[in-house]
Amino acid sequence: MAGFGGPGRLRRRGGDGQRHQRFADPDYLGVAAEAGASVVATHIRLGPRLPDPEPHYDDVVAEVCDFLVERAGRAEAAGIAPERIVVDAGLDLGKTAEQSLRLLRESPSLAALGYPLLLSASHKPFLGALLDLDVGDRQTATVAAHAVGVVGGCRILRTHDARATRRVADVLAAILAARP
């Protein structure tokens, strides 16, 4: 567990379509700051569960980074410490499979924003499209995506298989911490 945030940083959680709308609530950030809570800023072009069949970006990485910096700035302005502001590229949320793959590959750019980086790749449709897999067959693809994300700076992983993800994170933490 060394080097990857220890217990409590990797959790198995169900989805919550409402979390994408919380920044729109004018009281949300102030209440979170007052409570000492962490917040997650997730990129999404449209509202949750709204179809976005042909999303277009001139530069998906730059546009997602700009969006996340703006949201994180609002959270900081409300009094939330930067280490309590988690950013999430929102893979598959208003993005094509290719755009989600590019964002995953560019995790170092997202990590360079300076906030804890969440990777929500577990069982996502872009992994299914890549390998023509049904949702129940995406575990190995998920583990591979998590490995790429961890190497790229993701430190919080949303997963359906906490044991496998923890093992991957622990092995990668050991590899990355190994002295030359």
Q: How far apart are CA 30 and CA 48, in angstroms?
A: 23
Look at residue 7 in the predicted model and tell me its pLDDT.
37
Which distant-in-sequence residues (6+ apart) come within 8 Å of 141 by Cβ? 127, 128, 130, 131, 133
11: left (phi over 0), alpha (psi -120 to 50) or beta: beta
pTM score, whole prediction: 0.85
- The whole-number pLDDT of residue 130 equals 92
From 103, 83, 100, select the one nearest 92 (Cα to Cα): 100
Identify the pLDDT of residue 2: 35
Which residues in the chain show pLDDT less than 70? 1-21
Tally of residues, the chain: 180
Token match 């067959």: residue? Answer: 137
* Residues 6 or more apart whose Cβ sits within 8 Å of residue 55: 45, 94, 95, 96, 99
Residue of 5, 150, 153 lying closest to 65 (CA atoms): 153
pLDDT recorded at residue 180? 83
Query: Could you tell me the domains of the chain?
Result: 17-177 (3.20.20.20)
Judge whether 121 and 85 are in contact, CB under 8 Å. no
Report the alpha-carbon distance of residue 36 to residue 30 in Å, rounded.
10
Q: Which tokens is 61 given?
A: 């990485």
Which token pair is 171?
């092995």
Q: Which two tokens stand for residue 29?
A: 């950030």
